[in-house]
Structure 1
Amino acid sequence: MNPALSISVALCTYNGARFIEEQVRSICLQTVPPAEIVLSDDASADGCVELARKAVEACLQERPGLSITLKVLRNAASLRVTKNFEQAASACSGDLIALCDQDDVWYPDRLARMVAEFDKRPELLLLHSDARLVDGQRKDLGQSLFHALEVQRFELEWIHTGRAFDVFLRRNLVTGATTMFRRTLLAPAVPFPKEWVHDEWLAIVASAIGRVDVIEDALIEYRQHENNQIGARRDSFLGKVRKALASRGNTHAERAFKAELLLTRLLALGDRVEPDTIRKLRDKLVHQRFRAALPPSRVARCLPVLREALTGRYNKFGRGARGVVRDLFESV
């Protein structure tokens, strides 16, 4: 397969020497390899960049005719995850950009399967997939990423049928390590707000202006280990109870501020965003501000929460009864 669309990989590293060689090999030895890897290193001190270089060189020697350019960006001071991925993606030159963590392993046909979708669907702006969860030694943990996230059938169907924005207003289901998008998405999405994680920002902006879809198969091994910056584990029943009783903190105020940032960005995009999309986001902001302003007293929250539940916004912009329970029982 020789896709008409060129492929870049945006790979971010931070002290990733333990796993980087295995990940880079899985990228280079794809059935449809990328034209370039842009590695943005966030002030590592463990030699992972040099290991990545060696891994690329070894693959080029093993597979005559393979041509992959490695571009390295080094940060003297850490940018952190979101801004480091912004830097990596912005430096990519391919038509399609695949996001990549330093510690996973791609199945050989990950790029082929995703590029095929973009090749046949000009309207497709961003695509993500499921992943198989493994431990540090790549031992299967017996569940997929979507299982850990408790993804519901209706959420997948909404994404398939063009309602991804509705899904993402409720919660993010897009994990950057499984994501590919058209480089044209960068113009409306950059700069990434530091308050957002890069993958959820790209996903919701893409869903507001174009088509997002999902491949329900696992296309990578998503490694879960003690040094994950962002991981995926399914909460136990006890874990859910603890969350329901945990301190409210600034969570809801921070979510309201994130919604404000998104609204500002989408309004700046003018006619690219449908009025109904803006209306939904404004309604989401009303709900998030309501939750942020709830009183400290659990008793005093009961009537306002009941009234808010009757509006249907807990279902539209959250996980329904779970949000109601948390708002009733969370501590201050």
Structure 2
Amino acid sequence: MRRYAWQSDRAPRADATEGIHMTDEHAESAPALPLVVVLMATHNGAEFVEEQTRTILGQQGVEVRLVVSDDASTDATLEILRGFGDERIVILPPGRFGTPQANFLRLVRDADVSGAAAVALADQDDRWHLDRYQRQLALMAEHELDAISSSVTAYWVRPDGSERSEYLEKSQPQTELDYLLESAGPGCTFVLTPQLFAAVREVIEAHPLVDETVPHDWIVYAIARATDHRWRIDPTPTIDYRQHDSNATGANTGLRPALRRARRLASGDYRKQCASIATLAASLATGETKSRLERIAPLFQRSDFASRAALRRLVPELRREPAERRWLDLVLRLGLW
């Protein structure tokens, strides 16, 4: 594994967890199915977490270990998870993290992923297709990938219990610099090789430029792309992506998300996050990629005409979706971002 100049020497991690750990006897008799370690962050998820967990534990063709980090839930979330009585569920000592991204970064740092053939992320409120990992692991092997994510089927439950669904495409062709402005789709579709996960963990544990205000999935994607890891976004949905009023992030459709994005642009928070990601990526990259990122990163830290003009020239490389490119070009031209 690559060692960085900023890397600190740390004592081995003590994985203090609640749950049943594999004994040597169990390890010797473990089935040949690949083990996927799933990292799930929870917070007051009692309404949905049971259904989500059943679709995780029911994955076909793989073994699963579900590692949970709970952020100070005051409802029955942990009681529901304990109620499964399943040794595949490991609950880390609960803490108070404040945001979903901080909770997920805690999982990246502390989860026991020993023996994993792959490491994945999970929200607390979706439904996974039961053949999800069979498909994703097969694609990773076929294309020699370091990571994979996918498009999703967003769905809304109506008051009468019926559902409305919509395909959300996340698989537009990746561009040279898309990771500076966006993630590879929802983090709950991510699957990483253990080697890439170890590299991500190394950065998140010790790198001084990791900004915990940035969404965790965007950080993971940026680390992977800046260090030349191979990532594919599959057009076939692997999850039903539940939409409700408590979503930390959700489907980017309709008036409400549009207003939320406009407020975010006006506040300057998104530009600051882009600057953080670009600076982190530049510190991790090598060769010409590093030199280019070092030139680009300062553009996000200014809002003058020259910096906006330079970013406009980069628009085709900064966003995957054509409509998003047009939107970005417009707000840069108008001086709104």
Q: Classify the TM-score, shorter chain.
A: 0.7 to 0.9
Q: Is 1:118 the counterpart of 2:136 in the alignment?
A: no
Question: Normalising by the residue count of structure 1, what TM-score does the alignment of the two structures yield?
Answer: 0.75
Query: Unaligned 5+ residue runs, structure 2?
Result: 1-30, 205-209
Q: Is 1:277 the counterpart of 2:293 in the alignment?
A: no
| 1:312 Cα offset (Å) | 1.6
Please show how residues 33-112 of structure 1 align to structure 2 within 5 Å: 33-55=62-84, 57=86, 69-78=88-97, 80-90=99-109, 91=111, 92-93=113-114, 94-112=116-134
Q: 2-side partners of 1:238 and 1:86: how far apart? A: 25
3-state DSSP of counterpart to 1:36:
strand
Q: Which residue among 305, 321, 329 is the counterpart of 1:324?
A: 329
Q: 1-side partners of 2:134 and 2:261: how far apart? A: 42
Q: Which residue among 46, 51, 55 is the counterpart of 1:26?
A: 55
| 1:135 Cα offset (Å) | 1.7
Q: 1-side partners of 2:74 and 2:264: how far apart? A: 40
Bigger shift: 25-34 or 213-222?
Answer: 25-34
Name the structure 1 match of 2:15: none
Query: Unaligned 5+ residue runs, structure 1?
Result: 58-67, 268-272, 295-300
- 1:279 and 1:5, CA in 2 relative to 1: closer, same or farther beyond 3 A? farther
> What is the alpha-carbon root mean square deviation over aligned residues?
3.2
Name the structure 2 match of 1:218: 237
Q: 2-side partners of 1:43 and 1:314: how far apart? A: 41
Q: Is 1:203 the counterpart of 2:227 in the alignment?
A: no
| 1:237 Cα offset (Å) | 11
Q: Which residue among 114, 134, 157 is the counterpart of 2:173?
A: 157
3-state DSSP of counterpart to 1:37:
strand
% same residue: 23
Q: 2-side partners of 1:251 and 1:242: how far apart? A: 9
Q: Is 1:181 the counterpart of 2:201 in the alignment?
A: no
Letter paired with 1:45: T
- 1:288 and 1:135, CA in 2 relative to 1: closer, same or farther beyond 3 A? same
3-state DSSP of counterpart to 2:185:
coil
3-state DSSP of counterpart to 1:98:
strand
Q: Is 1:288 the counterpart of 2:309 in the alignment?
A: no
Q: Deviations over 1:29-55 (max 9, x none)?
A: 121243311111111111212212323
3-state DSSP of counterpart to 1:156:
coil
| 1:114 Cα offset (Å) | 1.0
- 1:76 and 1:15, CA in 2 relative to 1: closer, same or farther beyond 3 A? same
> 1:245, 1:330 within 8 Å by CA — same for their partners in 2?
no
> 1:263, 1:281 within 8 Å by CA — same for their partners in 2?
yes
Q: 2-side partners of 1:51 and 1:4: how far apart? A: 27
> 1:169, 1:281 within 8 Å by CA — same for their partners in 2?
no
- In the alignment of these two chains, the number of paired residues is 290
- Of Structure 1 and Structure 2, the greater helix share is in 1
Letter paired with 1:168: Y
> 2:36, 2:64 within 8 Å by CA — same for their partners in 1?
yes
> 1:43, 1:74 within 8 Å by CA — same for their partners in 2?
no
Moved over 6 A (4+): none
> 1:24, 1:55 within 8 Å by CA — same for their partners in 2?
no
